[in-house]
Amino acid sequence: MINVSIAGIGGQGSVLAARILAQAAENKGWQVRSAETIGMAQRGGDVMSHVRMGNEGEAVFSPLPSKGSVDVLIALEPGEAARSLPYLKEKGLLVVASSGIAPVNASFKRRMYEPMVLIEDMKAAGVKMVVVDDTELVRRLGEPKALNVMMLAYAIIAVNKRPDCVDNALRGAISLEDIEQAIPACVKRKLVSTNEKAIKVVQQVARI
């Protein structure tokens, strides 16, 4: 069983990224369940998408993972990484974008939002992670709306290249080619080439 969760802010595309991953798993003939837990998504609230894949032929009965069971947590925003961290396995991998989006309540409480402080705190707590320079990825691609696919691609590269991920269930199970083949079934035809290019950009710049 492989559990992957994708956390972000409404409008960042975590639901689409999960759909692409689920489609890639379905294309392999695996049983897949996916679900979203959505806050005030239309107003910049939190959105967390879950994909559970029976990669060893097992049936998947529940779409929601239990806390401490997620193999890879992909966070499109550092604050959402911190909020979703309880779902990550002790030896799971967090792949997190370095840029932050201040939550709505930060302005109400007049607090500074410091995403890199959150990232450093998670590192200090011993979380195994890859920090992604999402600003550079978006600059190279020239399309911010494809960050979700770039983060998904980055996570797959990280799991397959990092020596401390040899026991991660996602390692070797889903490839970038699988993701690329799943894209046409999940996005509009005019956006297929942009998302395919997004994967190639990550292949060129990923530093694992």
Distance CA 195, CA 118 (A): 29
Distance CA 17, CA 147 (A): 9
The residues of the chain scoring below 50 in pLDDT are 41, 108
What's the pLDDT tens digit per position in 1-58? 999 999 998 889 999 999 999 999 999 999 999 998 766 545 567 889 999 999 999 9
Largest Cα–Cα separation, the chain: 51
Q: What pLDDT does 95 receive? A: 98
Q: What pLDDT does 36 receive? A: 86
Q: What pLDDT does 101 receive? A: 77
Instruction: Give the count of domains, the chain.
Output: 1
Which CATH number goes with the domain that contains 26?
Answer: 3.40.920.10
Its domain, for residue 25, covers 2-205
How many other β-carbons are positioned within 10 Å of the β-carbon of residue 62?
10
Q: What pLDDT does 41 receive? A: 47
Q: What is the DSSP letter of 69?
A: -
